[in-house]
Structure 1
Amino acid sequence: MENTTSLFERLGGLKGIEAIVDDIVELHMSNPNVKSRFLPLKDNPEHFAEVRQHLISFLAFGSGGPVEYKGKDMTAAHKGMNISNGEYMTVVDDIMTALDKNNIDEQTKKDVLFIAYSLKATMVHV
């Protein structure tokens, strides 16, 4: 029997996605490979709140939730950041760790991983 529950619902809806995003950001800020990109957000609480909300909206909208994403597309959002393949893989690892921490099932993790890989070319510019 095929699962007809949306990815948004399988991620726990908006509350679940908020918890996942908070865990992802926390992991990025302590990850030696990417923390220099994320720690400066702590110095500007307004910008941090804006980035956090964009991440939540992006994941909620992209997973089929009833949310409108008003942020930049991935190419524009990451332009000039010179993200390496290694940094990208580190970020994906953090995402998978956050999904584990939030008890997300294997199929849902695979679905998120598929989406992450489908976006790779819009973020990695080396």
Structure 2
Amino acid sequence: MKRTRLISTLVGLGILLASAAVAAAGNAQEGSAKSMFCSGCHGVDGNVTYPSVRLAGQATQRLSQSLMDFKTGRRFHPVMNMLSLGLTQQDMDDLTMFYAARKPLSLEHASLYWRLGGVDAINAAVDETIKVSKADPRLAGRITGACAPKLKEQLCAASGGPCTYTGRDMKTAHKGLNITEAEFGAVAQNLVSVLDAFKVPEKEKNELVGLIAPMQGAIVGQ
């Protein structure tokens, strides 16, 4: 099941996950200063009346790819092609983080991050899942909760939010943990109950699964 694949990732991240800090890809504050050249068409904070040019709340992946496509000529727009030529990779990363962090006027073109409810909703779901799992006798102390910040980063970044995951790659982080299928199943039931209690729509749950599930192969049986 798709939900089970998602939990496999969450369990792996939540059990004694070791982390190593890496440099953030972008800085929203720096992006704010650089966005002055974008405000004429896209608005001061990326929120304009026309959704087709509204940048606020779009997924980081979408924003980053769009800028790169304009810079390399894969997409054509006379103004965007000209402006993007002068942007460095850091400039594009900073702009991406800035606009991804802006709360959109509507959710029509918003990232999964915003459709899930933003950072507060993601953090609450992680905290509640860890709380329930720590008390679950089937997991027998395997869930410590120590790595909750990394799990929150992971979900924020995967859903297109203005976050950068600073943990190790999945295979390295889970080497030697010997996570079992029984543990996957136990946490799966716990997380699903939390998501249902939070009334997360089916579309958003499935979309989140599709983003995270590919990491399962690097976690299972390590």
For the aligned pair, the TM-score class normalised by the smaller chain equals 0.7 to 0.9
Q: Is the 8 A contact 2:112 2:204 kept in 1?
A: yes
Q: Is the 8 A contact 1:96 1:109 kept in 2?
A: no
Change (3 A) 1:68 1:116: closer
Q: Please give the per-residue CA displacement for 1:19-69, whole angstroms capped at 9, x wherever unaligned.
A: 01101111211222224211xx37xxxxx2xx1111111110111101111
Shift of 1:116: 4.6
Distance in 1 of aligned mates of 2:109 and 2:140: 37
Match of 1:5 in 2: 110
Determine helix, strand or coil for the equivalent of 1:124.
coil
Structure 2, unmatched stretches of 5+, are 1-107
Shift of 1:6: 1.4
Q: Which one of 139, 142, 145 corresponds to residue 34 of structure 1? A: 139
Give percent identity, aligned residues only: 30
Return the structure number with greater helix share: 1
Higher-Rg member (1/2): 2
Q: Which one of 87, 110, 120 corresponds to residue 206 of structure 2? A: 110
Change (3 A) 1:97 1:36: same
Shift of 1:122: 1.7
Match of 1:89 in 2: 185
Q: How does 1:41-120 map to 2 (within 5 A)?
A: 41=144, 48=146, 51-120=147-216
1:22 alignment partner AA: D
Change (3 A) 1:20 1:82: same
TM-score by length of 2: 0.47
Determine helix, strand or coil for the equivalent of 2:163.
coil
The alignment yields a C-alpha RMSD, in angstroms, of 2.0
TM-score by length of 1: 0.79
Structure 1, unmatched stretches of 5+, are 43-47
